[in-house]
Structure 1
């Protein structure tokens, strides 16, 4: 039977990935090196870039993503059919220089998943080879690659292989649904990874660590377009935050609103004083609360708007310390962006005059409110991808919102 056009397009690539990649893997190792891409970014993602073979400048949402996920599924299904991997005792932190039977178990586990070469062998010694293998495993799982197998790393190591197989099955379907043409430029916010990719002409031009919604205030999965950037924005407080956060805070600290330059307005636009509201009730939800621009504003210096029915957006934050955390699920649904000035400059660089980092920074430094419409609106995809493969490297993230049906994993 003659193949369809789509099948003709996919089949050679599938053979190349499932055949070519698999042929380079010495069982039981399943991962082959890829090149690392140094990032114009900061902190955790920059450390990932230094782990050999883990970072590539290909985006997670690329045309071959479903095929590579299928290859990864075959590899992990093979491991499962051979009995899976061993458990590493989690009673002791394992690090460079340690000698322990637990290290032998760690070596065995890392060999099975291909992070440690089989030829290195199994012993009680945590040497430089094991250190690099742990870093590789950590980077593939979104854990700070410090080479120390502590609580989070050991929990990730001990996730059963059948759970990883189910994650790959679920995410292969997700990637298939997202495999269409994304356009020349787009943004992908991957919620479980708490990471953002800015993509142009099929290449990631910048990565940004993100802080996304809490488990009980989840950021939504959606497709939209970025249409405007606000510089030095006001923050209008959502009713949900007034009810859940602001009223309890005012009960504890009556000076909270004043200290944070948050003003109160009635429906007619008249400003009220905090003392005019009964904070022991929910009266406050009937008013509008707006924080002045400037230092301490919850949106920081930039807000990136895209069309959606959830009233969410990307924004800066004064709480930049959160970007250094491994658990970055702390927002009320919006997405906080590290190094947001770079992202804003990229979004606006096709506007008249061609925006740069310097022009973005200069606009912020004026302290004035400014709204800049995006001339060529940039597609944005907020996705939920917990497992994918790229260039023979398999990546996993925690099912933080339990949408995979596998339950909480390491970070939870």
Structure 2
């Protein structure tokens, strides 16, 4: 996904944002002078100058137990905004004009640009030099940059990484300011225990006593079937659930599939029922029309069930929920926007056990036995757990670490932040 390919002129213009206009106004010499001011500034002394090419800085990017939805995170964002205001005032960072993939061993003038770019953003120490050779120190810095942008830290400047590097400092500053408003609105008391789904990060935090107890990768909605922002309370876990297809999936997915393959429903153990609860054989339906939308499509429990082993329920007007999936390979992808609005959870058993801690009779052994049995089992949660679906595309943590994510649903108001539409 990070492999290099040519980017359209429109994509580059969108990725560069306000930085291009700023550079054109200030002139190349002034821009270079401003960059050097940043590199030599004593105010950057708190930034981590200790560099380890082996990658310890990469592991530190996610090594925090501070919840994203917290006053502490909002405080760190306020500090990051101050840092980025100074960067913008000094002229921002240089554009990386790569025409090929950059990685260890490559010699090119664009490597110098990359080096300067990462120094200004604090990913590379200011004493890292100006070599045109891509060395292991630059590799470690780039991996750190990729990690805090939610990318696979492979140390290669491919198309997506290049687009992220060339989002201008003014645009990133605006992204931080936009998200600070969101964080402040959610930084009050959210519960002693709660679950947070961060949509643009495609990730989940289970928080207990103001500290992150668990983190999970998630798969959230596609751009045309977006996961909604909501607040609710998790009241039920269902093991070996039945899956009932929503009308949108029946219309957009299942009917076209049945027109191509009349055995699709039978192979996937999906049965049809009319309004009176009577089972309807698939061959009795006219699939050249949309009459099937009026039927109920229910998939039996099992390994191929769309929710696999588990469904996590909470009341909401969008009819969405959290669930397991038989497509575990999707969690290995960088861009995890694959669902029809519901949220798929990686390692869902761990989250389920955490949710059931206050519900008597449920431990890991009991849970595994019920899942193995294949019997549909509904478990009311003794103490309901608040759940929040939020849209936080930028935040900051300890050590001046600033995190950015693709504005996948284009809610931040700047096209250059929707990298997936220009770079992939």
Fold in common (TM above 0.5): yes
Residue in 1 that maps onto 2:168:
160
Shift of the alpha carbon at 1:175? 0.5
**In the alignment, which residue of structure 2 is the partner of 1:3?**
none
8 Å Cα contact 1:386/1:396 also seen in 2: yes
Please name the residue that 1:388 is paired with.
Answer: 395
Partner residue, 2:201: 193
Tell me whether 337-346 or 138-147 shows the greater mean CA deviation: 138-147
1:349 lines up with 2:357 in the alignment:
yes
Question: Which secondary structure does the structure 1 equivalent of 2:236 belong to?
Answer: strand
C-alpha distance 59-316 of structure 1, shift in aligned 2 (>3 A) = same
Does the Cα contact within 8 Å between 1:29 and 1:114 map onto a contact in 2?
A: no
CA distance in 1 between partners of 2:193 and 2:89 (Å): 41
Instruction: State which of 99, 102, 106 in structure 2 corresponds to 1:98.
Output: 106
Task: Report the Cα distance in structure 1 between the residues aligned to 2:120 and 2:333, rounded to whole angstroms.
Answer: 29
Runs (4+) of structure 1 exceeding 6 A deviation are none
TM-score, with length taken from structure 1? 0.87
Q: Is the 8 A contact 2:123 2:145 kept in 1?
A: yes
Q: Name 1:373's counterpart in structure 2.
A: 380
Q: How does 1:392-407 map to 2 (within 5 A)?
A: 392-407=400-415
User: What's the CA shift string for 1:305-349, capped at 9, x where partnerless?
Assistant: 011111000000011111111111110000000000000000001
Q: Distance in 2 between matches of 1:107 and 1:388?
A: 24
1:409 and 2:418 are equivalent in the alignment: yes
Q: Which residue of 2 aligns with 1:323?
A: 331
Which deviates more from structure 2 when the two are superposed, residues 105-114 or residues 151-160?
A: 151-160
Contact kept, 8 Å, 1:209 with 1:338, in 2: the verdict is: yes
Asked if 1:122 corresponds to 2:124, the answer is no
Return the offset for 1:107: 0.5
Report how many residues are paired.
375
Change (3 A) 1:33 1:343: farther
Match of 2:371 in 1: 364
2:139 to 119, 131, 137: 131
Could you list the per-position Cα deviations for residues 157-205 of structure 1 after superposition, in whole angstroms to 9, with x for gaps in the alignment? 1111121111111101000100111121111100000000111111111
Name the CA distance, whole Å, in 1 between partners of 2:259 and 2:325: 25
RMSD across aligned positions (CA): 1.9
Q: Where does residue 150 of structure 2 map in the other structure?
A: 142
User: Per-residue displacement from partner, 1:54-95 (whole Å, max 9, x unpaired)?
Assistant: 421111111222222111111112111111111112421111
Unaligned regions of 5+ residues in structure 1, if any?
A: 1-24, 35-46
Q: Is the 8 A contact 1:33 1:393 kept in 2?
A: no
TM-score normalised by the chain length of structure 2: 0.85
Judge which range, 343-352 or 147-156, deviates more.
147-156
1:288 and 2:288 correspond: no
Aligned-partner Cα distance in 1 for 2:407–2:131: 33
Distance 1:115 1:49, change over 3 A: closer
Alpha-carbon distance, 1:139 to partner:
0.9
Residues 254 and 122 from structure 1, CA distance in 2 versus in 1: closer, same or farther, beyond 3 angstroms?
Answer: same
Give the superposition deviation at 1:49: 9.4
Gaps of 5+ in 2: 1-40
Q: 1:351-371 CA distances to partner (integer Å, 9 max, x unpaired)? A: 113x33333222211111101
Indicate the SS of the match to 2:354. helix
